[in-house]
A = this chain, B = another copy of it.
Amino acid sequence: MQLTLGMEGMGKMDKKIKLSDGDGGADTQRLIRNVFYKYFNDPLYNDMSDSFVFEAGYKRLAYTTDSFVVKPLFFRGGNIGKLAVCGTINDLVTAGAMPLFLSAGFIIEEGFGLEKLHIIAKSMSDVCKQTGVKIVTGDTKVVERGSTDGIFINTSGIGKVLGTYNPHWIKPGDEIIITGGIAEHGTSILLDRYDLGIQTQLKSDCAPLCCIIKGLYESLKHVKLMKDPTRGGVATALNEISTMQGLDIEVNEQMIPVKNEVHAICDILGIDPLYLACEGRMIIVAEKGCAEEVLHQIKALDNCREARIIGRFISGHYNMVYMKTIIGGKRIIPMLEGQMLPRIC
């Protein structure tokens, strides 16, 4: 992948991160000015204050956080910076919220390449520009060589809540939509982590999903729940929903969008794509009878052309997820137990 980027504006900075860059003194201020202000520069982010103050001109706000420790840091389709911004944006979307502001906390290993930090920060800035979300507060720590795996990023986010849905309204017959092909992020991480020598165009689905809030505005009243199937994949997300609602879920295997490359790679590795993470897909629960209308609007959005209705809620005593298989059978899809594929986000 492409790691070069103009080093203009870096002045006399060394090309590796030093411990003193995280001490809060002059070096830290130079690092913040030369890297983070360069990309996150905004009139909002206009002084060296530790806190960002904003007018809360919205009735309800959503608030969330996520830490990102993905390995490798750079993967086909993205890097830890893009992931950190998309992940928190998408968590806000699950709350029916339009993302507004993000925080970004960096923990960087001494000796980490400054050029890589530029690329990561630029990716974060690119997603912000694309979505109108603003990084308004941040923090940088540097830890001794060997104390971390290059860089960890935490983002938190605030959004204004537009949806009024409530998962407790879910009833038997309500339908489940997935907005695109599953397991593309998890499979990409696998390929890049273990250098499997498989030639493929596949890349991570990592993307911000703000478009769903805008695009569904009219139909949000028919939506009862949104959940992004990240760690643990679609299987784990559906199990969580089923347990929370006290209902069974029936999934139709034939309807689940899985790219051929994902199928092939997972077959080789003996991994079930249902348990691999997506980072740019959403599970949407639509009211019985309205799922086609919601699906129609979803399919008009970027990144969501492959959206499908994949299953529905049914009455049941066990809060389980069942799969109607292509060959006509029925199998239980359990919660992920033990270790599947760690550090995918």
| Pairwise interchain contact B59-A53, C-beta atoms closer than 8 A | no
Residues of B within 8 A of A333 (CB): none
- Interchain CA distance A274-B151 in the complex, whole Å: 30
Q: Are A24 and B231 in contact (CB under 8 A)?
A: yes
Q: Which residues of B contact A19 (CB under 8 A)?
A: 339, 342
Q: Is the CB of A67 within 8 A of B26?
A: no
Q: Which of B58, B94, B105, B144 contacts A50 (CB 8 A)?
A: B94
Question: Besides the contacts A20-B342, A56-B58, what 4 more A-B pairs have beta carbons closer than 8 Å?
Answer: A23-B341, A27-B337, A47-B167, A53-B95
Residues of chain A from 303 to 321 with CB closer than 8 A to chain B in the complex: none
Closest to A105 in B: B67
Please pick, from B28, B60, B64, B68, the residue contacting A56 in the complex, using a CB distance under 8 A: B60
Question: How many whole Å from A33's CB to the nearest CB in chain B?
Answer: 12
Interface-lining segment among A111-119, A131-139, A262-270: A131-139
Q: Is the interface of A mostly helix, strand, loop or mixed?
A: mixed
Segment with Cβ contacts to B, from A153-161, A175-183, A216-224: A153-161
The reply to whether the CB of A188 lies closer than 8 angstroms to some CB of chain B is no
Contact A59 B67 (CB under 8 A): no
6 chain-A/chain-B pairs, Cβ below 8 angstroms: A24-B230, A27-B338, A65-B137, A65-B154, A69-B141, A103-B156
Q: How far is the CA of A48 from the CA of B156 in the complex (A)?
A: 17
Check B52–A64 contact: CB distance below 8 A.
yes
Q: With an 8 A cutoff between CB atoms, is A101 at the interface? A: yes
Q: In the complex, are the beta carbons of A20 and B338 less than 8 A apart?
A: yes
Whether the Cβ atoms of B52 and A136 lie closer than 8 Å is: no
Q: Which chain B positions have C-beta within 8 A of A337?
A: 25-27
A55 within 8 A of B: yes
B-binding residues in A (CB < 8 A): 18-20, 22-29, 47-56, 58-69, 91-92, 94-95, 97, 101, 103-107, 136-139, 141-144, 146-149, 152, 154, 156, 158-159, 161, 167, 227-228, 230-232, 236, 240, 244, 335-343
B103 near A51 with CB under 8 A, answer no
CA distance A143 to B24 in the complex (A): 26
Indicate if the CB atoms of A64 and B103 lie closer than 8 Å.
Answer: yes
A152→B154 CA distance, assembly (Å): 11
A62 touches which of B53, B68, B92 (Cβ 8 Å): B53
Chain B neighbourhood of A148, CB < 8 A: 147-149, 152
* Assembled-state Cα–Cα distance A24/B149 (Å): 20
Tell me which residues across on chain B come within 8 A of A167, comparing CB atoms.
Answer: 47, 49
Chain B residue contacts of A230, Cβ below 8 A? 24
Contact A63–B136 (Cβ < 8 Å): yes
Q: In the complex, what distance in Å separates the CA atom of A9 from the CA atom of B75?
A: 40
Residue pair B94, A49 in contact (C-beta under 8 Å): yes
Point out the residues of chain B lying under 8 angstroms from A228, CB to CB: 50
Residues on B with beta carbons closer than 8 Å to the beta carbon of A147? 69, 148-149
Inter-subunit contact A94/B51 (CB<8 Å): yes
The answer to whether A95 touches B49 (Cβ under 8 A) is: yes
CB contacts (< 8 Å) of A25 on chain B: these are 231-232, 236, 335-338, 340
